[in-house]
């Protein structure tokens, strides 16, 4: 683990990572990282030691790469720290677990100002404090790379409950979501259409104008606020299946349907004003869950349909098959410009 050095320099204002030692960088990042209530041994040794009170832990990992996953012209380091934490916390919550800790591996170009790494740490901290209080960063690694790359691994505590898998949806269950559908993809479309210069290259000042005009939509894309607490709430309320909606409701619902051997029958009237965006927009980071018939839906969950017997389609909307089309990270957003 690379977050293990002490300071070898102190005055690093305005410097890039190429100009200072790893130890000097870490001495500036460390104090800004959020602490974890579950850390028995925090950063600074070969490994961290985490409490796992019920003798299990959940773990997920996700990588964000400059180009396919974000543009530096649109996302500040603070935004990147927030989003890297938020998306991983959502995968923990989707098991019904309470997030307890993160480890963060970061690779940046050697021209990156150390100030930006501090802002990145601040974004991690703000997301943990806002979305999952008590969760913090317990370790990490820092590298140089031509491609700004963030890899976060997140842990959580099931608090004695069974994990809520994708396989448990049963005929007759209520299908519900927590979080807003289609907004993140709407924000991304705005950035692609109006946050670029004449040549189509992402542009920071134009992106700022877009953000001022459509703060909610752009925030949904750049700094999502997944309903983390609704993961454990859903589990306590008896959710039979649950998952993070990251690749679009239609694609993710089809995964749950196949895993459970059922059809998810959605109702367009329950999907908001823009049904196509709700079904096929990516990166919502809401929660899709099924609950037994008659269950009271907890927290921010609202009904969007019901589970029916497996038929020809994995997912239907008003009875018609819905294509499992959504966000494909391999084709949807490539190239590193901006």
Please tell me whether 166 is known to bind a ligand.
yes
For a copy of itself, the closer CB: 146 or 215: 146
Hey, what are 93's tokens?
């919550």
Least separation in angstroms between CB 291 and a copy of itself: 17
**Nearest CA among 237, 251, 260, 243 for reference residue 308:** 260
Closest distance to a copy of itself from the beta carbon of 222 (Å): 18
Q: Is 318 annotated as a binding residue?
A: no
Rounded CA separation 201/187 (Å): 17
Please report how close the Cβ of residue 14 comes to a copy of itself at its closest, in angstroms.
17
> Is there a binding annotation on residue 91?
yes
Minimum distance between the CB of residue 87 and a copy of itself, rounded to whole angstroms? 10
Q: Would you say 173 is a known binding-site residue?
A: no
Is 314 within any annotated ligand binding site?
no
Nearer CB in complex with a copy of itself: 221/254: 254
Give the nearer residue to a copy of itself in terms of CB position, either 263 or 275: 263
The token pair at 6 is: 């002490």
- Cα–Cα distances (Å) from 58 to 38, 45, 167, 168, 239, in that order, read 13, 22, 17, 18, 17
Report d(CA 206, CA 196) in Å as an integer.
6
Q: Phi and psi of 252, rounded to 5°?
A: -70, -40
Residue 334 marked ligand-binding: no
- For a copy of itself, give the closer residue by CB, 88 or 185: 88
Q: Is 2 annotated as a binding residue?
A: no
Which of 316, 184, 327, 323 has the alpha carbon at shortest distance from 248? 327
93 vs 217, beta carbon nearer a copy of itself = 93
Nearer residue to a copy of itself within complex by CB, 51 or 201? 51
Strand (E) positions, 123-271?
Answer: 136-144, 149-157, 174-178, 241-245, 262-266
- Which of 308, 48, 267 lies closest to 170 in space, CA to CA? 308
Does 54 belong to an annotated binding site?
no
Minimum distance of a copy of itself from residue 239's CB (angstroms): 13
Q: Which is nearer to a copy of itself, 41 or 292 (CB)?
A: 41
276 is in an annotated binding site: no
Contact 271, 279 (CB under 8 A): yes
H-state helical runs in 134-203 = 183-194
Least distance to a copy of itself, CB of residue 318, Å: 26
Contacts 24+ apart (CB under 8 A), 326-331: 326/247, 326/248, 326/249, 326/250, 326/251, 326/252, 326/280, 326/281, 326/282, 327/185, 327/246, 327/247, 327/248, 327/251, 327/281, 327/282, 327/283, 328/247, 329/68, 329/69
Least distance from a copy of itself to the Cβ atom of residue 40, Å: 6
In the annotated binding site, the residues are: 46, 60-62, 69, 91, 140-141, 166, 244, 246-247, 283, 327
In the annotated binding site for ATP, the residues are: 140-141, 166, 246
In the annotated binding site for substrate, the residues are: 69, 283, 327
């Amino acid at each position: 683990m690379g977050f293990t050095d002490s300071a070898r320099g102190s005055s690093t204002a305005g410097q890039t990572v190429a100009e200072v030692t790893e130890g000097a960088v870490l001495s500036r990042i460390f104090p800004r990282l959020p602490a974890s209530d579950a850390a028995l041994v925090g950063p600074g040794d070969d490994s961290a030691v985490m409490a796992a009170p019920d003798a299990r832990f959940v773990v997920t990992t996700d990588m964000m790469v400059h180009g396919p996953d974000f543009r530096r012209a649109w996302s500040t380091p603070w935004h990147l720290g927030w989003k890297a934490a938020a998306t991983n916390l959502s995968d923990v919550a989707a098991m019904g677990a309470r997030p307890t800790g993160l480890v963060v591996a970061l690779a940046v170009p050697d021209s990156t100002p150390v100030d930006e790494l501090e802002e990145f740490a601040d974004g991690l901290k703000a997301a943990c404090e806002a979305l999952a209080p008590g969760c913090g960063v317990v370790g990490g690694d820092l590298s140089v790379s031509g491609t700004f790359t963030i890899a976060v691994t997140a842990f959580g505590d099931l608090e004695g409950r069974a994990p809520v898998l994708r396989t448990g949806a049963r005929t007759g269950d209520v299908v519900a979501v927590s979080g807003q559908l289609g907004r993140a993809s709407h924000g991304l479309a705005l950035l692609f259409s109006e946050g670029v210069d004449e040549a189509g290259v992402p542009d920071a000042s134009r992106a700022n104008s877009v953000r001022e005009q459509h703060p909610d939509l752009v925030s949904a894309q750049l700094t999502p606020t997944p309903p983390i607490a609704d993961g454990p709430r859903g589990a306590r309320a008896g959710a039979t299946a649950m998952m993070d909606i990251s690749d679009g409701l239609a694609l993710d619902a089809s995964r749950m349907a196949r895993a459970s051997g059922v059809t998810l029958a959605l109702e367009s009237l329950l999907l908001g004003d823009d049904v196509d965006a709700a079904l096929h927009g990516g990166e919502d980071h809401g929660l899709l869950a099924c609950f037994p018939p008659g269950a009271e839906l907890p927290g921010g969950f609202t009904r969007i349909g019901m589970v029916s017997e497996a038929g020809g389609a994995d997912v239907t909307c008003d009875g018609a098959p819905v294509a499992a089309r959504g966000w494909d990270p391999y084709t949807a957003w490539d190239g590193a410009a901006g």
